[in-house]
Amino acid sequence: MLQEDVLTLEETVELPAPELERQTRVLLGFLSNLWGPDQLVLRAGKLEALSLLRSERLTDRLVALQRLVYEDPTIDAEDGLSPDELLLDLEDQIADLVAMRTVEESLDRKIATKMEERHRDYLRDLRREALREDIGPENSTTLRKLEELKELEERGLDSTALRLMRPQTLEEVVGQEEAVESLFSKLGTPFPQHVILYGPPGVGKTTVARLILDEVQKMAHTPFKEAAPFVEVDATVVRWDPREITNPLLGSVHDPIYQGSKKDLGDEGIPEPKVGLVTKAHGGILFIDEIGELDPILQNKLLKVLEDKKILFESSYFDEDNPRVPEYIRKLFAEGAPADFILVGATTRAPEDITPAIRSRCAEVYFNPLSANQTQEIVKQAADRLGVNIKSEVAELVAQYTSEGRKAVRILADAYGRAFLRKVRAKGKEATKKIVITSADVRAVLRASREKSSHATKASVGEEVGAVLGLGVVGFLGSLIAIEAAVFPSQEKGKGSHRFNRAAGDMAHDSFFNATSVIRRVLGDNLIDYDVHVNVVGGGKVDGPSAGVALVTAIASSLRAKPVPQNVAMTGELSLHGKVKAVGGVVEKIHGAQQAGVKKVFIPEDNAPEVEGLFPDLDVIPVATIEDAFSKLWGDFV
């Protein structure tokens, strides 16, 4: 009986309802379209549903569909679900599969399209790169500019007269034997020192520094290597920004946004350090001309470099973890740029005008002003190097208008140009004989350039009452100062007038009133009973304290009608008690006096050691008091 019931149930279940059969075939067709017939068979074989799909029984095919949809080979006939409910569940699952497959196909198509576009771009870049390699970056414009550059190089000047006439060895440097020896002793040791060179312009400071480096490099013990650089910069043209946007001396960082680093670095947002002259001078000499003109803040920064011997760079844009940062930039930010060099500064200023912090770290060397004879020697040497003859009076004429070696050489070069053109015009296109420079050529140059004699006041033969030559110095260049005095008894006793030209400066004006006290003390005359007029010829500003001796001498000469030789000059500060005190720049002052034709110079006794043996052709007389000066000038003076 039970067996019959089971058969009856199976027969009831397997009775194929046309609608259920149709829906089952439709779902199976969806799967076949979704995966493809071959893939459907493979899936059915793996999930043990192949035999069920081929079964005539609807329940078996439904189980096969379930296994395929849910990818589960253990699924059997669902208990509690009718065929209708089972078909609805399968429809939902197959719909999800179809939707997922549709989305996947859409994404695949988009991905394929993008990949194809990238592939085309890649191929296009490869073709462009290949064309660059074959053709290069040149075009008609760049090629034309390249030709222009080549033409400029071909017609460049191989040499100039000034370069040709410059000293080529230390032996050719004139008038600076002591300075050369001193600088050599500071640079030519195993431990060279930083140096500041003082002296007037055009006496060879830069040239001597270059030549000494050339000599020192040949020594076995020197730290300067054969390729040691000599980096020269003029402090008057060094421009920098306190925000460190630019600093050609020390170096700076070009940020990718504000200053703009190189394109390949800017595109990556990488800052670019720019090394300065201190790094370019590493292992050699950094020569700073007119170092006194350097910005005080920049001088302090330079001192830091001298201590650290390196330059450190900072930038908020630098990311040490960025793998795109080039190694040299990473190294500059991490370790800094080397800056181990010897500083050689040159200045025409007085030592007290240089920052004390710089002076304390540097040795000091003084270059002397050139005498007239030395200037003449420079002119003669330059003529020899230029390969020309000069008349005997040419060198003397040039020396009358300048005490700067560089300027003397320039005047000679201009005169050479005139002489050369004159000969070419007279003889044809090419001058075959040696050029001869005459005084007429030099005078023509002097007129054309409006040159004035370097010594407006000169010594002369003879004597004058109330006229005295004082000594002054400006920028290491000494010169004569003509001081004259006129003294007359006043019309009313005790009501004398005193006049002194204010243009000479307040300190000189004070020295005049100090002089009245000294006159009263030494000579016993009260100048309140006299009309006194003192004049500095030309109205030039003078160094007041150092003009004290000259002022008192001029007044005393006029008061006592004592003539003063006009080839005698004097300098010295006077105290109210008549003592002659030391003054500055005495060497330069005596140089100026010698060039102006002075034969005898009165200087403070305390300054005598500074000039001992320096002026063998000049009578240098030290004095301790004004009475001593009067005695050596006039003998007994009452």
- CATH code, domain with 599: 3.30.230.10
Task: Tell me how far apart the 2 most distant CA atoms of the chain are, in Å.
Answer: 176
Say if residues 436 and 388 touch (Cβ distance below 8 Å).
yes
Is residue 287 located within the same domain as residue 404?
no
CA distance 194 to 283: 13
Is residue 378 located within the same domain as residue 259?
no
**578: which 2 tokens?**
């008549």
Q: Single out the residue of 580, 629, 563 nearest to residue 600, CA to CA.
A: 629
489: left (phi over 0), alpha (psi -120 to 50) or beta: beta
Q: Are strands 436-437 and 389-390 parallel, antiparallel or unpaired?
A: parallel
CB atoms within 10 A of CB 99: 10
* Block residue for tokens 């500074």: 610
Does residue 601 sit within a domain? yes
Is residue 335 located within the same domain as residue 257?
yes
Q: Which residues contact 143 (CB under 8 A, 6 or more apart)?
A: none
Q: Single out the residue of 554, 551, 569 nearest to residue 465, CA to CA.
A: 554
Surface-to-core class of residue 422, CB atoms within 10 Å of its CB (0-12 exposed, 13-18 middle, 19+ buried): middle
* Block residue for tokens 């196909």: 105
| CATH, residue 438 | 1.10.8.60
Q: Which of 511, 546, 557, 558 is catalytic?
A: 546
Is residue 503 located within the same domain as residue 581?
yes
Is residue 344 located within the same domain as residue 323?
yes
Does residue 175 sit within a domain? yes
**475: which 2 tokens?**
């920028």
Q: Name the packing angle between helices 439-448 and 392-401 (round to 10°).
A: 20
CA torsion angle 144 148 154 160 (round to 10): -170
Angle made by CA atoms 419, 420, 423, in degrees to the nearest 5:
85
CA distance 211 to 478: 28
Provide the sign of the torsion angle of the four alpha carbons 625, 626, 630, 633, taken in this order. positive
Domain boundary residue, one of 342, 366, 390: 366
Q: Single out the residue of 79, 77, 62 nearest to residue 17, CA to CA.
A: 62
**What is residue 13's predicted lDDT score, i.e. its pLDDT?**
41
List residues bridging with 465 in a β-sheet.
563
List residues bridging with 231 in a β-sheet.
286
Domain span at residue 236 reads: 167-366
For the chain, first and last CA: distance in Å? 176
Confirm whether 301 is a catalytic residue: no
Rounded to the nearest angstrom, the gap between the alpha carbon of residue 520 and the centroid of all alpha carbons in its chain is: 58
Q: Which residues of the chain have pLDDT under 70?
A: 1-17, 77-81, 130-139, 142, 153, 155-162, 244, 257-268, 427-433, 454-456, 475, 502-510, 538-544, 637-638
Is residue 216 located within the same domain as residue 269?
yes
Q: Single out the residue of 619, 584, 160 nearest to residue 352, CA to CA.
A: 584
Is residue 329 located within the same domain as residue 198?
yes
Does residue 456 sit within a domain? no
**What is residue 284's predicted lDDT score, i.e. its pLDDT?**
92
Is residue 408 located within the same domain as residue 540?
no
Is residue 412 located within the same domain as residue 513?
no
Domain boundary residue, one of 448, 481, 499: 448
CA distance 557 to 515: 13
Say if residues 306 and 361 touch (Cβ distance below 8 Å).
yes
CA distance 573 to 556: 16
Alpha helices in 36-82 (DSSP H): 37-46, 50-53, 58-70
* Block residue for tokens 């194809």: 116
CA distance 632 to 618: 16
Does residue 9 sit within a domain? no
Q: Single out the residue of 262, 362, 270, 367 nearest to residue 313, CA to CA.
A: 270
**357: which 2 tokens?**
């912090």
Is residue 435 located within the same domain as residue 488?
no
Q: Up-side HSE of residue 106: CA atoms within 13 Å toward CB?
A: 6
**What is residue 5's predicted lDDT score, i.e. its pLDDT?**
36
Q: Residue 281 carries which side chain, given as an amino acid letter?
A: A
Angle made by CA atoms 353, 358, 362, in degrees to the nearest 5:
110
Say if residues 43 and 81 touch (Cβ distance below 8 Å).
no
Does residue 477 sit within a domain? yes
Q: Single out the residue of 546, 395, 408, 410 nearest to residue 474, CA to CA.
A: 546
Is residue 404 located within the same domain as residue 470?
no
Q: Name the packing angle between helices 626-634 and 548-560 (round to 10°).
A: 50
Q: Single out the residue of 329, 331, 336 nearest to residue 269, CA to CA.
A: 329
**What is residue 232's predicted lDDT score, i.e. its pLDDT?**
92
Q: Which residues contact 402 (CB under 8 A, 6 or more apart)?
A: 202, 375, 408, 411, 451, 454
CA distance 41 to 244: 76
Work out how many domains the chain is built from and give that number.
4
**417: which 2 tokens?**
């140009």
Confirm whether 453 is a catalytic residue: no
Does residue 11 sit within a domain? no
CA distance 350 to 341: 25
Provide the sign of the torsion angle of the four alpha carbons 172, 378, 365, 602, taken in this order. positive
Does residue 154 sit within a domain? no
* Block residue for tokens 């947002």: 269
Is residue 521 located within the same domain as residue 483?
yes
Domain boundary residue, one of 332, 366, 400: 366
Q: Are strands 251-254 and 272-275 parallel, antiparallel or unpaired?
A: antiparallel
Does residue 146 sit within a domain? no
| CATH, residue 326 | 3.40.50.300
CA distance 367 to 177: 9
